[in-house]
Each structure stands twice: as structure tokens, then as C-alpha cells.
Chain A
Amino acid sequence: MTRVLEASGMSVAFAGIRALDNVSVSVAAAERVGLIGPNGAGKTTLFNCLLGILRPDAGRVLLNSVDVGGWPAHRRARAGMGRTFQRVELFADTTVREHLLIAERIRNGTGAFWKDLIGRGRPTPDEVAACDEVLELLGIAELAAKPVESLSLGQSRLVEVGRALMTGPQVLLLDEPSSGLDRDETRALATTLRSVQDTRGYAVLLVEHDVSLVADFTERTYVLDSGVLIAEGSTADVLADPAVRRAYLGSFEVT
């Protein structure tokens, strides 16, 4: 099985506190992998290290067997790492379609400055068609011309997914997509994510708090607790593991 994303021996310390201690995770092509853990377990830290927003103190990140450890976030994105955000990050003042169009242009790499100067920088029909295809796939084609300020949270999440898809990701990193959504909305999101992933065939790493979404969506799961990997394996096995239930679900019941 080819590994799309492989991180090994990741360690990070903040002011002496170990946020991550020798954590290794990997995602195979077209695989759906979950990453769960209680608050403060180091999920976000690991996520940021994978994406190049944070530099780990130790450890390697391989993307398609290429060491991307020294690359900035935007270069990793071009190499095939897509992502969404826990707190929705959209481009204010633009429409849904424009979000996808700019991502498409960056992926194509056809946005030379001189083309702008002679008026050849506007979106081409091909680019618009590619964006509309993704919007169709996500079931939000009717929102294409809407300004993003008018969208609901669930719709905004889908726009983020669409924007990430336009970069042609080999692995899509989803950061708590269910946060702020109710049970029905989460279920609808899971259905959409699954069907799109079936069509497009990229791998997914899902960082999630909501165990039901992880159980629904992923095949394999890692569990982090206090910066240490305490379990990994098929999602069903992991969620049944008593140690995991103590560390994670226990705290879940308390809060």
C-alpha cells in the first residue's frame, strides 16, 4: 500500500511542556483515517506540523515519499495537501464560485503577471466549468453566485471543502468539520464527504471531536492523549478499546 502522507517521530515542546512526544501517523492512498483525542491531546499541534504552520522539534513529514519538512504551508498545499479549518476561514467580500476559481488558477499555475496586464487574467470558461463541477458534486451549485457572508455554517464548510478540492489534493486534512453543527447537519456532511471522496479518490485525515462522525466515516483511527499516541488500528477496534474509552470517552462524559 503506498503511503501518501507519512509522519514519523514528531515531537513538539511548548515552554517545556511536551505537546507531542514521538508521534507517528500515516495515511495510504484513498484511505480515510481519523485522529481523535480529548482537548489538549495535541491534535491541533500535530495537524499544524503536518501542514507546515508549525515546525516540529523533531520528526519527518513525507508527502508521496518526498521530505517536505522544510517547506512552507503554501508549497505543501501545491504538492497535494488540502485542508479545511475548524473556525471557518473564507475570503470575505467574494462569492462562492470566486473561492474555487482562485484555487483553480493557482493549481493550474497559469496566472503569470503579464497576462493580467494584457487583460488575459480573467477566469476562462474551462476554469468556470471545473469549479461548477465541484460545486455540483458538493450539492451547492445553486450557491455559486452568492457572497460567502450569506451562507450558513454548514454551507460554509462545504465551500471550504470545495476550495480544497480545487487544489487537486492527494490527501485532504479536515479540522473538526462537525464543530458548530448539530447532529443532522453532521450526518449530512458525512454523507456528502463520503460520496465526494468515492468519486475523487483522495485520502482523508479527519481530526475530530465527535466520535460518531469518526465512527461513520473513517476506516482507521489514531488516538492521541497528552501528546502520546495511545492507540491505533481499525476504527471499530479502537473505539471498543477500554483504554481509549477511559482516556477519551471518559472525559467526554464529564464535559
Chain B
Amino acid sequence: MILASGFFEDLFRGVLQGTPPGAVYALIALGFVLTYKTSGVFNLAFGAQAYISAAMYFKVHSVWGWPKWAALLVSVFVLAPLVGLVLERAIFRHLRTASAVSKLVVTIGLSVALPEIFNWAARFSAVAGRQITGIVPDGAGVYYDPFGIYRFNRDELAMMAVALAGTLLLAALFRFTMMGLSMRAVVESPRMTELSGVNANRVSAFAWALSSTFAGMAGVLIAPRFNSLSSGDYFTLVIIAVAAAATGLLISLPRALLGGLGLGWFIAVFNTFLPGLADDHTWLRPFQENLTPSLPFVVLFAILVLWRAVGRQREASDPLAGVDPPPPALAALERHPKLTMFTRLFGVFFVTVVGLVVWFRADVLWMSLVTKAVIIALIYLSVTVITGMGGQISLCQGTFAAIGGFTVFQMADRFNMSVLAAALIGAALAAVVGALLSLPVLRLGGVWLAIATLAFAFFFDAVMVKFSWVGGGSTALLTGTQVPRPLIGPIDFASDRAFLVLAVVALVVVSVVVIQLREGTIGRTLAALRGSEVAAASIGISAARARIVAFAVSAAIAGLGGALLAMHQQNVNYALNFAPIVALFWLVVVVALGSRTVEGAIQAGAAFALFEPLILQGELLGWIVRGEERLPEFFPLSGNWRLILFGLMAMQFARHPEGLVEHGKRRSATRINGWLEAREARA
């Protein structure tokens, strides 16, 4: 191909080929920018909103057999704005003055929960191979070839037309209408806008309905490109769109359009020329094979890290924010000594009982589940360090854990090394990667830091895992990434009980380390930085140094946990355990339950691993009513309820950043404190 035609013809073909996917990216980027511009929300749930409309369109058109125009009307112009209105009314209206990071966490929770809620409510499940048909008649079958080198089909033309029309519509809205002006004003300061006689709630509701319609439109238009509908694909698309939107600093619509198209062109041209180059230079081949799918993530990471304007962009601050009550302070609670004694005793009692039950009564399955819970809790301590102590959202903890798991696999596979030694090496390696990653991304801070770590996670997922020296390459596809259990002298941890003890010991050691760090210099330094960065600098604290340490420690803990999980399952199981989407759910669980304390991480680990078998499948209730046959009929519940419940719980993050369990604990502690003190006063 490259030999037969000239360079410029190839280039032109690449650009033409890249235009339709570019228009797709642009369309999502536009909707994303619209949400950000009008609500200040970095809406990672945008993909979930798009997914809902696409799924509804499929249901109405393909399952119910309604005509296309009716399906489009129902899914894009009725359901989508409705979803937007509900989200605004129920959630985001109350979060206007919350920090950008807590809004981000809320949207992550939504992106997990929304598709599952829809699937459950509409009894929808994706069928592989049953593609969605486009909105124009015979969209995939009729071709046009205006330049004689690339043929566009009708679906592609529709995408390009809608992207262009959408940009023009939005630009006109912002430039010429009162509503557009009000929308921009509400983001800056809803209070001030209301003072000038605009109903901020109505404006914000309109903005959400509009942006949600955009999400729905994009979702339906893009659907024919996928084999089957999956919310994961839509989430990935949003990450790509963020790269396009970032080129306009999230506020410029024309730049978002150009960014999307540019990304499409770049990828297509890259694909046109790299194969030819790789034929001449063999060292390029592994990159050619692996880099292409990750190109958007590399571009996103590069934009965030290299473009200095991104880091400097400040959060819009509401001059009248002080009108709203400040978020509740997590004032250090002075517990009554009796209460402390009681809770400690109860804790010891509870752990002992659970330990005894597991040790003597648990079968193989439950032993394995409990061990998994212990190891996941250990991994979650890494979130306690980076998010609870450091105040930063990292979305690549799964990647750090995977580095630990893969290190054990490689060391054992190649050098027959002791897996415990390999686990320590894995933790050290993860720490090094974490420290190196933190160097470029720390400058960003806040939401951008979270997105950069997410881009890194997707990059690792798309490229690194496929290298034979990381994920085992193609041989791993056949034989799996097998990891043996450790063996210390006479103790063989192939026994599940012995391994559970090992996992518990590791958890205790890491918990003690985390508590020491929190009480020590680094923990108090990070607390100072969390409180006020300028004030921390004024007493000589170097923010960069403290945060590099936090990243490295957090990565090391995740790496160690990943290594243990690989040993436990005797396989790394990357896609199941450590993929970016899984790690996203980890974050949601931990912040929902409590990222500030060690107990919070342990409870989150137990919830992640045990909630589904224990509660949803009715084991616990069955044990209480003595006999599974007496359970109500709706048991066992679908495991998807886990995603819905924890996703919805993450929404509380903005109001209770300490986590729900911690919040409840503090409230009841205050109450009991008062009761004990009143009783003493009487005595």
C-alpha cells in the first residue's frame, strides 16, 4: 500500500479515515465540555449517560420493533434529558460548592452505578454480536467516495454532520442567548447569579438536561461502531474525549471539536505510516503492535504533563461560597475512656469470633473468600495513604498492584525465585514506578492528577501488559500467569489455612506501618499540606517531596497486596483483579466507607470481597433464619447490586469525605459520649 501510492495520498487517506472516529471523539468532548462549562462537574459519568441512551435506543428499536425516529425520540430526547434532570435535582444541585475532587468521586460512583441501574430497571442485557443500527436508513451499507481514495458510509456522514451541527448550536447558545450567559454565570457563582434575578436552579437544570441530551445523541451515534453494547467501552470513550476536551482546557467548544478531530486524524495517520516504518526498523515492531490501542491515553497523558496551562488552571471559586455553611469539620473527637475501652473490647471480641468461625467452620470456598478480603484490605491501605492521608485521588492503584503480581510471576517463572522475596521486590518496583509517575503528575493536582493516573492505568492496560517481560505476552494467553504459593522451611503455604495466617500477618504489619506513618512526621506533614498548601510552605514543608513519598509508599503497599493476591489465586488474573475499571471500583468502595482510617480500609476490603456472597446471595440471612430453603424468593440477588449500592454510596463523599462508616461512628460516639458524661454528672 505504502509503496504503491505517494506520501501525500497516504496522508490524505489517513486524514479522511480518521475523520469519522474523530467526529465521534469530538461529539463526546463537546458534551463533556458542555457539562463542565455549565456545572463545573468533571463528569466521568458522561459515558454512563451515553450508554443508557444507546441501550434504550437498542431496546426500543431492535427489541420492541418501533421505527427509528420513535426510538431516537424516546432514547435521546426524552430519556436522556430526564436522566440529566434527575441527576441535577437529586445530586449535583447540592454539590455546587463542593470541591472539584469530591464531585469527581461522585461521578465515578455514578459511572459504576448508572448503567447497572438502567440494566436492572429496563431488564436490559447486551447481546454480543447484535449490533445497533445507525439512525440513518441503511447507514452501514451505502457508501460515498468524494475524493476517490476513501469511502464514507452513511453512519459516518451522520456522525460528522451531527458533530458539526452540535458545535454550531452550542456556540450560538453561548454567544447569543440569555440562557447561555446565565449558564456560564451559574458555574462561577450561583449565589451572585441569583442576586441578579436569575433562577440558578432552573438554569442549572436546563444545562444538565441539554448536556445529557448530547451524551445520549453521542451514545446512539457511536453505538454502530461497537460489537455489542458495554458500559466499559463507553467509559473508555469518555477518557479519550477528555484528551480532546483538555486541548481546550475544558472550556473551549471549537477547540474540543478540533481536538477530537485531531485525535482521530493523528491515530489514523499513525496507523497508516507506522507499519511501513516498523518493517524497516524491527525494533519498532512491539510498539507498533501495542501502542496503537493506547494512543489516546498516551496523548492525554502527554497533554496533561507537557502543557503547562493545564496545571495552572485554577478551580472557579465562588466569591459568595461563604454564604453556604462550610463542609463539616472532622474535628478531633475526644472519646470517653469508657467508650474507648468498650469499642476495643468489642473489636477484639468480634475479630476473635470471626476468626474462630472461619478457622473451624469455613469450607474451602469461604476460607478463600476471607483470605481475599484480607488481601484486598491490605491493598486498600494504599488508598488510605494516598487519598486519606495525602488528600489525592489516584486511579492507578490497580496498576501498582498488578506490578507486584507480575513481578512475582516473572521472578518465579524465570529465575525460580522465592515468591516472598519476589513480593518484596515487586513492592519496591511498584514504589519506584509510583515515585517516577508522581514526578510529572504532582504539578497538576486535584482533578487533573486523578485523570493523569487514570490515563497511566489505561496505558499500562493497553501496552505494558502485552509485553512478554511484564504480562507474559502471548504465552500467558495459553498457560496463564501462574504463581506458586510460598514455602518457608517446613511451612507450606499451599495449605489455605497457612496462607490465611500469612495474609493476616501481612495485613497487621502493613496496618501498623500505616498507623506509624500517620502519627509520624510524614503523616503530619501530609495533614498540613491537605489543610493548606501555602501555609505548609510557610513553615518549610516541601510539598513535592512529601507527596512523592506518599505516592511511593502507597504504590509499595498496593504492589505487596497485588503480589499476595497473585499467590493466593496462584495466578495474576490481571483482567479480573487489576484492570483500570476494577481499580476505579476499589476507589469508590474505599472512599464510600472511609479512606481516613485503617478500620475503614479493612471494612472496605471485607465489603468488596464478602458483600456479594454474604449478603446478596443470602448466606447471612439464610444462617439467621436457619436454612436456605426459608429465604425469601428474590434471593440470591444479582451481584450487580454491589455496583449499584457502592456507586450510590460514593455520592456521599462530597458530604462526608471521611466515609460513611466513619461518619456513623463519629455520630454515635458523640451521642454515647454525651450519655456517659451526663450519667457521671448525675452520679
Contacts and interface: CB of A to CB of B under 8 A. Distances in A.
Interface of A: 51, 53, 72-75, 77-78, 82-83, 85, 89-95, 98, 101-103, 105-107, 110-113, 115-122, 147, 149-150, 160, 163-164, 166-167
Interface string B482-525: 00000000000000000000000000000001001101111111
Contacts of B532: 89-92
Contacts of B683: none
Nearest to A150: B331
B516 A164 contact: no
Given A74-B543, A147-B332, A91 B520 contact: no
B522 A113 contact: yes
B334 to A, nearest CB: 8
B522 A121 contact: yes
B522 A116 contact: yes
Contact of B538 (A82, A93, A121): A82
Contacts of A163: 535, 538-539
Contact of B524 (A102, A112, A149, A160): A102
Nearest to A103: B539
Interface of B: 329-332, 513, 516-517, 519-525, 527-528, 530-532, 534-543, 549
B534 A121 contact: no
Contacts of B332: 93-95, 147
B523 A116 contact: yes
A120 B521 CA distance: 9
Contacts of B330: 92-93
Contact of B531 (A82, A93, A113, A122): A93
Contacts of B528: 91, 94, 102
Contact of A106 (B520, B534, B535, B541): B541
A91 B535 contact: yes
Contact of A122 (B519, B525, B530, B541): B519
Given A102-B524, A102-B539, A122-B520, A93 B329 contact: yes
A119 B516 CA distance: 5
B439 to A, nearest CB: 16
Contacts of B534: 53, 73, 85, 89
A118 B509 CA distance: 11
A35 to B, nearest CB: 18
Contacts of B517: 116-117, 121
A93 B521 CA distance: 16
B520 A121 contact: yes
A85 B554 CA distance: 32
Contacts of A51: 538
A103 B519 CA distance: 15
Contacts of A116: 516-517, 520-523
A120 B520 CA distance: 7
A92 B531 contact: yes
A91 B520 CA distance: 16
B539 A77 contact: yes
A63 to B, nearest CB: 13
Contacts of A101: 524
A94 B531 contact: yes
B516 A121 contact: yes
A102 B525 contact: yes
Nearest to A116: B520
B538 A73 contact: yes
A149 B328 CA distance: 10
Contacts of A103: 539-540
A110 B522 CA distance: 11
22 contacts: A51-B538, A74-B537, A77-B540, A83-B538, A85-B538, A90-B532, A91-B532, A92-B330, A93-B530, A102-B524, A102-B527, A106-B525, A111-B521, A111-B525, A113-B521, A115-B521, A119-B520, A120-B520, A121-B520, A147-B331, A149-B331, A164-B538
